[in-house]
Amino acid sequence: MKKSLFALALCAFASQATAAAKPWQHPLQCVDVTAVKSSDTVPDIAMGIAHCLKEGKAKQAAELAQVFTAFGLYDVARVADKSAYGARDAAAKAAIDELGVSQSQLAAIGPYSEQLLTSHNARQHYCQALHKLAPPSYAPDYMIAFGKHPQKPAIKADFKPQAAWQQAVKSAMCH
């Protein structure tokens, strides 16, 4: 069964990822997915998810995690340095560490993530929000800085923003 990228990052990499020092620009609070803007970065969204988990709003966290997934996949599609892709996991770890999210709070996202991935009706809310968003408008500096093998240019020469965004939204289970 597919799990959200955020849930995988939190579970699989929580003990392994090296977090960059506060990679967020404008960290989100626990917000509804409709409040996410194209200018919000993956680390900003990770903070929103962590806030939701701290507040006991796991369902809201699970929906934000799907937006995190789409934005993260979009950044992977555009950043040339493959060693930078771990920045998504590091952003998730930094957020949970910053807010002191406990293992039980973290585990609470699981049932809601599973529901989002198995039920079209459950996905409607965050999918509508993703479809309304333009592709992320920020520079993926958090990811570029994380890379071990800087590329010139940092963004892939053949990057097609609209196609990459459509694929990212589709990968977040929104067709």
Task: Output the average pLDDT for the chain.
Answer: 88
What is the residue-wise DSSP string for the chain?
----HHHHHHHHHTTTPPPPSS--SS---S--GGG--TT--HHHHHHHHHHHHHTT-HHHHHHHHHHHHHHHHHHHHHBS-GGGGGHHHHHHHHHHHHHT--HHHHHTHHHHHHHHHH-HHHHHHHHHHHHHSPSP-S--HHHHHH-SS--SSSB-TT--HHHHHHHHHHHTT--
Has this prediction a pTM greater than 0.85?
yes
- What's the rounded Cα separation, in Å, for the pair 174 and 133? 13
User: What integer is the mean pLDDT of 139-149?
Assistant: 91
Is the predicted pLDDT of residue 106 greater than 50, yes or no? yes
Q: Please check whether residue 70 is in contact with residue 171, taking contact to mean a CB–CB distance below 8 angstroms.
A: yes
User: What integer is the mean pLDDT of 72-80?
Assistant: 96
User: What integer is the mean pLDDT of 83-96?
Assistant: 92
User: What integer is the mean pLDDT of 148-162?
Assistant: 92
Is the predicted pLDDT of residue 148 greater than 80, yes or no? yes
Q: Of 2-6, 82-86, 121-125, give the lowest mean pLDDT range.
A: 2-6
Query: What is the band of 103 on the pLDDT scale with cuts at 50, 70, 90?
Result: very high
Q: Which residue has the tokens 């020469």?
A: 157
User: What integer is the mean pLDDT of 130-153?
Assistant: 92
- What's the rounded Cα separation, in Å, for the pair 156 and 148? 16
Q: Of 18-27, 44-53, 155-164, give the lowest mean pLDDT range.
A: 18-27
Q: Output the CA torsion 55→138→68→153 (10° steps).
A: -140
User: What integer is the mean pLDDT of 162-171?
Assistant: 96
Is the predicted pLDDT of residue 8 greater than 70, yes or no? no
pLDDT tens digits for range 44-61: 999 999 999 999 999 999
Is the predicted pLDDT of residue 149 greater than 50, yes or no? yes
